[in-house]
Structure 1
Amino acid sequence: MFKYLRLILAVPLLLVAVSCSTQQTASTPGTDPELEAKARAALQLLVSDAPRTQQLQQMAKAVLVFPDILKVGFIAGAQGGKGVMFAPDGTVMGYYTARAVSWGLQAGGQTFSEAMFLMSDSAINYLNTSDGWSVGVGPSVVVVDAGMGKSMTTTTLKSDVYAFIYGQQGLMAGLGVQGQKITKYTP
């Protein structure tokens, strides 16, 4: 019994330890060219898979892209990753981390990408002035799946943020952004 309890507690602790790594790979202080390149490639993958997201990108005030979010769990689960916020002209507006924990019937591991289209200045301001943004609190977020992303129209957009989860690899179900905390950081 204790062996299983230790295993259940070890998974989230391992994730926290890995996600809190302070190793810097940037060549210039305050930048992370490797993360930027991954984020741009992940966004391009989304646009090529769901071309209507390009219109959404043109209307957005900013796009926050997390190219590699890792989610693992066995009863208790955790997910985390780093991302980049891009302005409409493609310049970097900042770097962010996304973290979440979960509890329930779950087992496995998975990586995925997430892109959040911030449609209003108030959504950007809330993210940058709050002590981290807990998704589900603050601006309204609509999660768009791949099928809806291919058929959506930009004339009916009314939410502050549209989130796309795509590029899933691995064996785990139950993706979502509810309860995810996004915080700004400096590389």
Structure 2
Amino acid sequence: MHKRTFLITSAAALAFAGAALTGCTTTTTSGKADAGAVRTEIDNGVDSTLNRLYAEVKGSRELVAKSNAVLVFPRVLAAGLVVGGEYGKGALRVKSEHGGYYSMASASVGLQAGAQSKAVVLLFMTQEAFSKFGQSKGWTAGVDASVAVIKVGVNGEVDTATANSPVQALVLTNAGLMANLTLEGTKVSRLDL
């Protein structure tokens, strides 16, 4: 009986996650995504996320400026019940120039319920880390590179002296910057938009 309950709960969670993530695309009346509208939505979201980051986190503008590239996912949706998933679309900026569109996805199992949204900003601080990312067909955090989630000091400022990992991340929610999470196992893939 427990196995059946688990299967039903898992199926419901996956259906819920799928339904939540389906709303992440802009579609035309034919049901196909309008690539131009998706690109515009992503670009506007990237600009908005970076502006919010700079306004809310002291030292973040300088940290982004020191990076070789920044990959911004303005809206990563997480949904699930027992089995959950996260998905978002974003854009790469290389010294303020456009560098392509990407998706990020991860799955998790454990006690979770509901849906939430967050923004994820990945900073490639070294040329070596950025080159490895650029050469990969599908890059996975924790496998292809370890990703350090940046912490903010008590003064509300990024400590740029200790933020020295080759790949760093900032995660923003409606409540502000998150520090106690991991992006390990998150897969990043290039989108053809």
Q: Shorter-chain TM-score category?
A: 0.7 to 0.9
Cα separation, 2, equivalents of 1:9 and 1:163: 27
Q: Which moved more, 1:90-99 or 1:116-125?
A: 116-125
Q: Equivalent residue of 2:132, what SS?
A: helix
Higher strand share: 1
Is the 2:10–2:82 Cα contact (8 Å) retained in structure 1? no
Cα separation, 1, equivalents of 2:68 and 2:92: 10
- 1:114 aligned onto 2:120: yes
Work out which of the residue numbers 44, 63, 82 in structure 2 matches 1:56. Answer: 63
Give 2:100's aligned residue.
Answer: 94
- 1:23 aligned onto 2:33: yes
Is the 2:10–2:83 Cα contact (8 Å) retained in structure 1? no
Per-residue CA deviation, residues 133-164 of structure 1 (Å, 9 max, x unaligned), is 11111223110245579333323442111101
Is the 2:83–2:107 Cα contact (8 Å) retained in structure 1? yes
Q: TM-score, normalised by structure 1?
A: 0.83
Q: Which moved more, 1:126-135 or 1:37-46?
A: 126-135
| Correspondence list, 1:31-180, <5 A | 32-88=39-95, 90-147=96-153, 150-168=156-174, 175-180=181-186
Cα 1:3–1:184 change in 2 (3 A) is closer
Cα 1:105–1:70 change in 2 (3 A) is same
Cα 1:153–1:77 change in 2 (3 A) is same
Show structure 1 runs of 5+ residues with no match. none
Q: Alpha-carbon deviation of 1:58?
A: 1.3
Cα 1:54–1:6 change in 2 (3 A) is closer
Q: After the TM superposition, which segments of 4 or more aligned residues of structure 1 sit over 6 Å from their partners?
A: none
Is the 1:53–1:149 Cα contact (8 Å) retained in structure 2? no
Cα separation, 1, equivalents of 2:99 and 2:58: 24
Give 2:15's aligned residue.
Answer: 10
Is the 1:52–1:150 Cα contact (8 Å) retained in structure 2? no
Aligned length: 179
Q: Equivalent residue of 1:105, what SS?
A: coil
Cα 1:154–1:23 change in 2 (3 A) is same
Give me the identity figure in percent.
Answer: 26
Q: Equivalent residue of 1:77, what SS?
A: strand
Is the 2:79–2:114 Cα contact (8 Å) retained in structure 1? yes
